[in-house]
Amino acid sequence: MVQYLTTRLDATFAALSDATRRGVLEQLGTAEASITELAEKFHMTLTGMKKHVGVLEQAGLVTTEKVGRVRTCRLGLRDLAEEAAWIEGRRRIWNLRFDALDEVVEALKRKEIKDGQESE
């Protein structure tokens, strides 16, 4: 289970790490498109776009279907709930750390004020 989740997270975040692939997902969110259409929209070669679509497909974010000579792309069926949960877990950890840091800063401010009053 943990290995599957790690592999899935790695694939998803690797796919989302590229601006072109994020753009492809945005585009496919409005309508399906052929690889040729996507390549033209992003000013890329067909080979380059096929590679990007392949990465998205491996991550399960995009599905493709070939009919004749045209390969049509659409958003995949899987959601990003596990990825969102992972991010939320990191957010909670950082919030706890920042809260603890805020407490330290406030304690130092109070000590500084107290020390300043005692020296007067």
pLDDT at 120: 62
* Domains of the chain, residue spans: 2-75, 79-120
Region of residue 43 (left: phi > 0; alpha: psi -120 to 50; beta: else): left
pLDDT at 55: 96
CATH class name, domain 2-75: mainly alpha
Helical spans, DSSP H, in the chain? 2-16, 19-30, 35-41, 46-58, 81-118
pLDDT at 52: 97
Q: What are the per-10-residue average pLDDT scores of the chain (120 residues)?
A: 72 95 96 96 97 96 94 91 90 92 90 76
- For 62, the enclosing helix (H) or strand (E) is strand 62-67
The per-residue pLDDT for range 28-49, each reduced to its tens digit, is 999 999 999 999 999 999 999 9
pLDDT at 111: 84
Q: Please give the DSSP secondary-structure letter assigned to residue 60.
A: T
Q: Please give the DSSP secondary-structure letter assigned to residue 119.
A: T
pLDDT at 53: 97
pLDDT at 3: 63
Strands 70-75 and 33-34, how do they pair? Answer: antiparallel
pTM over 0.85: no
Query: Tokens representing 108?
Result: 């130092």
